[in-house]
Amino acid sequence: MSAFSSSPRSSWSNRWAYIMVTVGSSVGLGNIWRFPYMTGSQGGSAFVLVYLVCVLLVGIPVLMAETLIGRRGRGNPVSSMLNVSEESGRSPWWAALGWTGMIGALLILSYYSVVSGWIVNYVWKFLTGFTVLSVGEAKSGFEDLLADPLSLAFCHSVFVALTIAVVARGVVSGIERANRVLMPALFLILILLAVWGGVTGDIAGAAHFMFDFSPEKLTGDVILSALGHAFFSLSLGMGAIMAYGSYLRRETSIFTTSLWVVAAGVLVGLFAGLAIFALTFGFGIQPTEGAGLILKTLPLTFAHMPGGRIFGLFFFLLVLFAAWTSAISLLEPFVSWLTERMGWRRPLSAWVSGAFSWAVGLLVCLSFNRWENARVFGKNFFEILEFSTSCIAMPLTGLAIAVFVGWRMREAFVREEIALSPKVFALWYGVLRYFVPLAIGIVFVRESGFLGW
């Protein structure tokens, strides 16, 4: 038993509830919006394959390690890191990992909610009878939205307010209740969309694009993006899983729940990818459309589908829910710090943290139009935020988590949390200690151009 488990703290109601909230955090725009567009712009199957390998060999071990820190530390990301490192006699500086995570999560939330705002806008469009008849119309529907900072900012604000409202209510009555209903509904509708994509679209083309491996497309960029996406899609490295793990009961198995969470995320991504590429190819749209891919492809599909307006409405509503349950987990780490450490009431903490992400998000809205040409290294503000959080901060904090749990925490404590048979434990521990740091390290050294690779 950990020395820190005596303080009264809320817990998820049961294992199912924990799986649902963590799946809720992990399954989001990352799987439905980001995965298809990254696959489309990063060479298709090469990206998919490296992503799957990264999820399996890096994602699962780090997910377990991060959950373990949260559950053993029983606090917000900073105090969890402090508790756990103190318990193993290590430097309190490890708490810096909690800080980078919490701040990083708020920065991710700032652009995440702008993109979610696009979805809010499409829900509204479908509610009011939006339909498009040609590829050109579908594209301009999205491009008009991007060109209009006021609409972007309005939808972004609606989404941030929704997120704050749930987090302000607390863990069980807010976060848990929302997730238990929304996640199963999302699965159902994705399966329907994939079946529809299979019946009407070019499913063979989609499968070929996603799974026929072509080694010549395997570049350093593809590998770094796939690694970053594995972290992004599993919500790793930003304190979110640590915060959720801190409400996890001791009797729940970290290993089994992690496998469930990963399986759900990967399946949603693959289903969404197949459906979306089948439809994209069916309509002769290029898969390299970038961040607007699903917003350009899907409205056209729904226009040609019997009952498409209703189906489209449902689909975008559920994407919105998926985004919402993820955004909640991005806000929670800092909110838990403000309430526990500063003694603020939860609603106040939620509004203050949310306001920070909201303000940064306003700049993101401008980066699509007024400030489109303000670029650093060819990237606008949105792209800079996205790249620096998901391709740099997440893998590096993941690396630090692996080093901490693998090398700095006492093995006995680690064993206590990860109660597995000796063989499976040894396998996980070995991968976490050797493979994960090496793999991330090599990708970074290579990408930074060091040694002239």
Q: Cβ–Cβ contacts within 10 Å for residue 396, how many?
A: 17
* 231 vs 395: CA distance, rounded Å: 7
Reading the block at residue 34, the tokens are 């980001």
Closest approach of ligand TRP to the CB of residue 306, in Å: 30
Listed ranges 9-17, 26-34, 180-188, 425-433: which one lies at the site for ligand TRP (CB under 6 A): 26-34
Name the DSSP letter for residue 292: G
Q: Decide: 98 and 79 in contact? Cβ < 8 Å.
A: yes
Residue whose CB is less far from ligand TRP, 57 or 103:
103
* Residue in 17, 21, 22, 31 binding ligand TRP, rule: CB under 6 A: 31
28 binds ligand TRP (CB under 6 A): yes
Closest approach of ligand TRP to the CB of residue 324, in Å: 11
* Residue in 114, 230, 238, 402 binding ligand TRP, rule: CB under 6 A: 238
Q: Binding mask 90-109 vs ligand TRP (x if CB under 6 A, - otherwise)?
A: ---------------x--x-
Residue whose CB is less far from ligand TRP, 182 or 300:
182
Helix (H, G, I), strand (E, B) or coil at 379: strand
Residue whose CB is less far from ligand TRP, 329 or 336:
329
* 304 vs 349: CA distance, rounded Å: 46
* Residue in 22, 83, 88, 235 binding ligand TRP, rule: CB under 6 A: 235
* Residue in 21, 55, 160, 240 binding ligand TRP, rule: CB under 6 A: 240
Q: How far is CA 154 from CA 117, 157, 172, 184, 372, in A?
A: 8, 5, 29, 29, 19
Listed ranges 50-58, 231-239, 251-259, 353-361: which one lies at the site for ligand TRP (CB under 6 A): 231-239
Listed ranges 22-30, 81-89, 292-300, 305-313: which one lies at the site for ligand TRP (CB under 6 A): 22-30
* 312 vs 327: CA distance, rounded Å: 22
329 binds ligand TRP (CB under 6 A): yes
- DSSP, residue by residue, 312-336: HHHHHHHHHHHHHHHHHHHHHHHHH
30 binds ligand TRP (CB under 6 A): yes
* Residue in 118, 130, 232, 311 binding ligand TRP, rule: CB under 6 A: 232
Residue whose CB is less far from ligand TRP, 55 or 274:
55
Phi-psi region of 307 (alpha: psi -120 to 50; beta: other; left: phi over 0): left
Secondary structure in 3-state letters for 106-148: HHHHHHHHHHHHHHHHHHHHHHCCCCCCCHHHHHHHHHHHHCC
Instruction: Catalog residues that contact ligand TRP under the rule CB under 6 A.
Output: 25-26, 28-31, 105, 108, 232-233, 235, 238, 240, 326, 329-330
